[in-house]
Amino acid sequence: MKEAKEFQIGQVVKILKGRGANRFSVIVRMEDKFVWIADGDIRKFDRSKKKNRMHLDPQPFICAEVADLLIQMGKVPNVKIRYGLQLWENERTREVQ
């Protein structure tokens, strides 16, 4: 049996299936089997994509600013999503070096 993956609002995920495969996005909304993701660039917050959790790989990074804004206001500017993904990218490249 497969191990259950943990997901949180503001968490960075890698897309495993679909047109956006191998790209990173941030979780902006959650339901039982599905989450909504956005990257602030191609997939904006207002047009977030509904994805099956099984098609995503959760990364060990949560964009705190994005999560806080979503909890407080229910929405987040696309620039904050892009900033969170940039922080994730910086952290990943630092780990590789």
pLDDT digits (tens, 9 = 90+) for 25-83: 999 999 988 999 999 999 999 999 999 999 999 999 999 999 999 999 999 999 999 99
- Say if residue 91's pLDDT is above 90: no
Residue 71: give the domain boundaries: 11-96
Residue 27 lies in a domain: yes
Choose between 2 and 69: higher pLDDT: 69
Rg over CA atoms, the chain: 13
Query: How much is the pLDDT for 95?
Result: 75
Residue 3 lies in a domain: no
Angle, vertex CA 13, rays to CA 73 and CA 48, nearest 5: 50
Query: What's the domain count of the chain?
Result: 1
Q: Is the separation of the CB atoms in 15 and 62 below 8 Å?
A: no
Would you give the DSSP letter of residue 46?
A: G
Residue 2 lies in a domain: no
